[in-house]
């Protein structure tokens, strides 16, 4: 009988690494390989900082190893492997994994290959899951039985280890297939820009003053928007210091209501839904009131951080969405890799300062989008298919 990872169930327990010497031997061997596949299991939701629990590693042979990050072993051999080139580090949907390694080491694993991004460039759809990709490429079925495991609990059962190892044992086959497709279609350039973003350390530096960008804020008047930014920064600082989730400090809903009402006292703050009298009169309330005062006193920026153009030209945005779907289908690429919904809204309002108008994206989609926005082409339907119609006199 075989475990879901493809490794014999009897060998799964042997794949668990809890000693530094064993980790050193594994990393020394993998350092000579052309690529290494990596995944992580971590605990989040109870703390601000994610807690690394397990690191799964596999070489080109697809044999997986699970490194117990909670055991009394030195992870430096693994970190050296990740931070030195070669080999290529292969992940699937790597942002959270890379963020954890950046937090631990201050470095981003390089060189990097994200199979989810590569799959988008190779026609496998939008943000395809690892399970779907493993099935499509490796004809593998990934069990979901242990996906809600508390990875901080020990010991891990053979079934839990098998589930974790399955996240890397099929990655070699997936990587080879996608790399081959990128070679045959000459689309490595399409991937390079995404990998540059994913390997940029600034992508993982969580600055408090930028915390509002990760907050669910509705459209707000400029002054309220500015107060919300100061509140989000204050909440971020408090959450980091206490190592508690942001929502435990203050919910997004309460933050927005505070920004809207700008309370000037603990009593006024306590009237807001989601803010208890104890919180309002305590350290959190004091810091939030200070943030409100800062937001009220600060000068309004000349240009708002959020794009002003959203929904200003809904008809043009609808046409751009249709064109985007057409272009994505023509090239067998996920539309998300060409432009986001937000970028389409900005295009419709005349904005051209975005990735869609640079490099390969401009050649594939941006030039046609600009022609549509400028009235140089129109869209029609011919035989059930969208057709671009040149317009002789766009004026």
pLDDT of residue 395: 54
Give the position of tokens 């939030």.
288
CATH topology of domain 314-390: DNA polymerase; domain 1 (1.10.150)
pLDDT along the chain (395 residues), means of 10: 47 83 97 97 92 98 97 97 92 96 94 96 93 96 85 94 96 98 93 90 90 90 97 97 96 97 97 95 97 97 54 83 95 94 92 93 96 93 88 66
Q: Look up the pTM and report it.
A: 0.85
Q: Under CATH, which number does the domain 208-297 receive? A: 1.10.150.80
pLDDT of residue 383: 83
* CATH architecture of structural domain 9-203: 2-Layer Sandwich (3.30)
CB atoms closer than 10 angstroms to residue 121: 23
Contact 333, 120 (CB under 8 A): yes
Task: Give the residue extent of every domain in the chain.
Answer: 9-203, 208-297, 314-390
Q: Do the domains 314-390 and 208-297 match in fold? A: yes
Strands 88-91 and 35-43: parallel
The H-assigned helical ranges of the chain are: 9-12, 20-30, 76-83, 95-105, 115-121, 130-138, 158-169, 171-185, 188-198, 222-242, 246-249, 252-261, 266-270, 277-280, 283-297, 314-331, 341-348, 359-361, 367-373
pLDDT of residue 206: 82
Please state, in angstroms and rounded to a whole number, the distance separating the CA atoms of residues 385 and 372: 17
pLDDT of residue 313: 79
Please state, in angstroms and rounded to a whole number, the distance separating the CA atoms of residues 352 and 292: 35
């Amino acid at each position: 009988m075989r475990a879901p990872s493809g490794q014999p169930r009897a060998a799964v327990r042997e794949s668990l690494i809890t000693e530094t010497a064993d980790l050193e031997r594994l990393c020394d061997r993998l350092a000579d390989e052309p690529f290494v596949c990596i995944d992580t299991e971590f605990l989040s939701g109870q703390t601000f900082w994610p807690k690394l629990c397990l690191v799964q590693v596999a070489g080109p042979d697809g044999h997986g190893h699970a490194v117990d990050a909670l055991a009394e072993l030195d992870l430096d051999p693994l970190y050296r492997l990740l931070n030195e080139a070669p080999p290529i580090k292969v992940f699937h949907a790597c942002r959270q994994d890379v963020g954890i390694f950046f937090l631990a080491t201050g470095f981003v694993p390089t060189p990097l290959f994200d199979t989810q991004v590569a799959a988008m460039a190779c026609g496998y759809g939008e943000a395809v899951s690892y399970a779907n990709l493993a099935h499509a490429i490796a004809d593998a079925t990934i069990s979901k039985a242990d996906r809600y495991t508390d990875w901080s609990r020990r010991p891990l059962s053979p079934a839990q280890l098998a589930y974790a190892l399955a996240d890397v044992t099929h990655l070699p086959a997936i990587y080879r297939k996608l790399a081959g497709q990128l070679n045959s279609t000459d689309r490595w350039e399409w991937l390079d820009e995404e990998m540059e973003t994913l390997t940029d350390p600034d992508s993982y530096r969580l600055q408090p003053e930028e915390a509002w960008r990760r907050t669910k804020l509705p459209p707000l008047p400029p002054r309220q928007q500015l107060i919300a930014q100061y509140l989000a920064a204050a909440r971020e600082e408090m959450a980091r210091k206490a190592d508690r989730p942001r929502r435990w400090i203050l919910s997004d809903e309460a933050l927005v209501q505070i920004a809207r009402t700008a309370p000037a006292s603990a009593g006024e703050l306590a009237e807001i839904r989601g803010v208890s009298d104890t919180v309002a009169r305590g350290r959190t309330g004091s810091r939030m009131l200070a943030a409100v005062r800062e937001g009220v006193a600060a000068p309004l920026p000349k240009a708002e951080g959020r794009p002003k153009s959203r929904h200003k030209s809904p008809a043009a945005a609808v046409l751009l969405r249709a064109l985007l779907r057409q272009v994505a289908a023509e090239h067998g690429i996920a539309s998300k890799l060409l432009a986001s919904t937000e970028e389409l809204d900005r295009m419709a309002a005349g904005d051209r300062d975005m990735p869609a108008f640079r490099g390969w994206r401009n050649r594939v989609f941006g030039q046609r989008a600009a022609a549509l926005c400028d009235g140089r082409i129109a869209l029609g339907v011919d035989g059930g298919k969208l057709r671009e119609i040149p317009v002789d006199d766009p004026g």
